[in-house]
Amino acid sequence: MKLKLQRLLAVLLLVIPGIAATYGFLAMKDAWFAQFGPPEQNPRILWSQFAVGFVLFVAGVAFVGGWIFFRDRKRNYVAPRFKQKKNKNK
């Protein structure tokens, strides 16, 4: 039972930032295309919605990308320049 709970938490740890990144992308898209609406409305970019969407998108992508990078580094799947430096004193 403990293993199932750990796996569920691990999946949630990746799904929540993924959902945030998706919502951020959609918010940026909606803010950008609001300027192309009907001329009766105020055609302009919704900067606050765009900024919030950008922050959510970047944070979500950075979290998932960082998780993948550190997992690959632990399993030795990365290029030599990304491998951890070894201490010569130890």
Q: Is 62:23 a contact under the CB 8 Å cutoff?
A: no
Q: Is 82:52 a contact under the CB 8 Å cutoff?
A: no
Say which residue the tokens 């430096």 belong to. Answer: 85
CA gap 71, 13 in Å, rounded = 14
Per-residue pLDDT, 78: 86
Structure tokens of 48? 């606050």
- The share of the chain scoring above pLDDT 90, in percent, equals 56
pTM: 0.79
In degrees, rounded to 5, the angle at the alpha carbon of residue 37 between the alpha carbons of residues 34 and 42 is: 75
- Place 42 in a pLDDT band, splitting at 50, 70 and 90: low
